[in-house]
Amino acid sequence: MQTQKLFFAIERNCLAAFCLLAVLVLCGCASNSGESSSRADRFARADANHDGVLDRNEVSDFIVSEIFDSRDANHDGRMTEQEWTGGDPGRLPAFKKRDSNKDGVVTKEEALNYARTHGSVDELMREADTNHDGVLSRAEAQAYSESKVGPAR
């Protein structure tokens, strides 16, 4: 029973960390000021279908891709246990959950599918989607980010 409680505490902490990272990523992609083009274009890069808004899957895919690409040391689209955990054994359960075919590697596709299936951005979407239309406008993404981390400088 104690092990199960510890596991759920770790899961909650991982989800909280993911949501914080999501806020930081949205903050970068929500900017429409005169910042550098790579930062200002993040909203556009996240908007995969170019309709001017971000749906749940676009937000999820963008955040997972940003995290995955930053940790995939050799940029081969496949993350080993070592790349995933960075030597932290506490990250191993999350790795194993995402390794859907149990081959010891998490591909970007597996990571994307896991996030979509498990609703990793659902809470963020509920909070940020102020008009409740199921998508985030640039203004909603920016307002949400500013509410969590303050205005862009």
pLDDT digits (tens, 9 = 90+) for 24-42: 555 555 444 444 445 447 8
pLDDT at 120: 83
pTM of the model: 0.75
Q: Which of 110, 115, 98 is nearest to 21 (CA)?
A: 115
Q: Could you tell me the pLDDT band of residue 148, with boundaries at 50, 70 and 90?
A: confident
pLDDT digits (tens, 9 = 90+) for 88-146: 999 999 999 999 999 999 999 999 999 999 988 999 899 999 999 999 999 998 888 88
pLDDT digits (tens, 9 = 90+) for 40-81: 478 889 999 999 999 999 999 999 998 899 889 899 999 999
The string over 5-35, giving b where at least 16 C-beta atoms fall within 10 Å of a residue's C-beta and e elsewhere, is: eeeeeeeeeeeeebbeebbebbbbbbbeeee
CB 59 within 8 A of CB 66: no
Q: Could you tell me the pLDDT band of residue 7, with boundaries at 50, 70 and 90?
A: very low
pLDDT at 149: 75
Q: Which of 12, 14, 27, 15 is nearest to 149 (CA)?
A: 27
Q: Which of 7, 104, 87 is nearest to 95 (CA)?
A: 104
